[in-house]
Structure 1
Amino acid sequence: MSHDLRICFVGDSFTAGVGDETALGYVGRITAAAWHRGVATTAYNLGVRRDTSAEIRRRAEAEVLARLLAASGDTHAVVFCFGANDVTFEDGMPRVPLEATLDNAAALLGWSAARWTTLMLGPPPALHDAAHDTRTAALSPELAAVAHAVQVPFLPLHGPLSAQAAWRHGAARGDGIHPDAAGYAAMAALIEAWAPWRVLTGGG
């Protein structure tokens, strides 16, 4: 093994792997692939169902520091994935207004990037609801711009996953939002092919 890598995956139900009957989600799959490349990887899954960027902002610092601060000598990283819940409508308005979402993203990414290698995954599609999905699609480039401003690599997932039959069919078979194992495998494959992730995990 070349080095020890500790990664916090901070996000919502997609990070938690909701809907995956194998209980691996994307986090388990890309962590296993890193091990296969010879990188001893500890993955901390900090995904919480229904969490918005505001809720993640409130908890991220304490949760990440508890896992990375004492781990001297290892390589540390944080991977964020959020936004889908921000654009969910409740009482006729989004749970988090766009301006607040972008402010939360800037605070989270800036705080993390000042300390560790930080990556961001764009929100996946919300194929159960066309209006929600349109809002998710519109949010992705806005989040990408925030990430770019603080020099955090950003991987758009909405477009590629919308085109993936495995994601569409998996979500349709489940609750309409979360995919099954095949859908998460498709998400993991996109991350595995992404240069910043490969560099971090020994495949670049």
Structure 2
Amino acid sequence: MISLLDLFILSSFLNCLVICISFEQQTPFTAADEAHRPSIPGGSTFEYCSESHPENDIFTIERIKWEPNPPIISREQKLLIFGIFSQRIPSNATGIGEIHIPEWQDPYSPAANYTGTEPFCGWPNYVYQSDEERGLHKVCDGAVGRNDSAPEAGPAILVAEDILFWPLPEGKYWFKLDMLMPENDAGGRGGRIFCLEGSVDLYY
């Protein structure tokens, strides 16, 4: 089984089961696209997706902390995304993750040209929020496949931690994670929670 931490740290993100799998070749973003996107504080390799408009995202990312950076194969990884939700996130929101590796690498690797879809609260290991009554508490617990509640409007910390355990070839990987609200009543696409993409050099 493939977790979205593994998906997103090759990417980077996680200890969750992927429920929808397909394979497709896509063209990674170009240097020209990269130059026009705002940076994300924290020193990670993550950037906003080329097709996204972060000023309109439901989750405003303030910074990303990734340890170790870059990730090391067979070592524990930890990713923290700090930000603010502008509205409540329902349990049927989804995340779509993709991984692509250069053609010279093993095309049959489980991380090669991979796309998976997962419910929002099945994606991070934990989402933490705080209020006066409960203090800092979990609102999603993807580590056990359970939604304690839905994330509410306000500050939050998205936490992903796992071990990147696949026997992967060393080299550069391109990844993407697109988090979306459910379709509206008319069947149209919901708003974007956030979208990240980037590349990373993996090594032992």
* Band the TM-score falls in, shorter-chain normalisation: under 0.3
Which structure has greater strand proportion?
2
Which structure has greater helix proportion?
1
Indicate the structure whose relative CO is greater, using CA pairs within 8 Å and at least 6 residues apart: 2
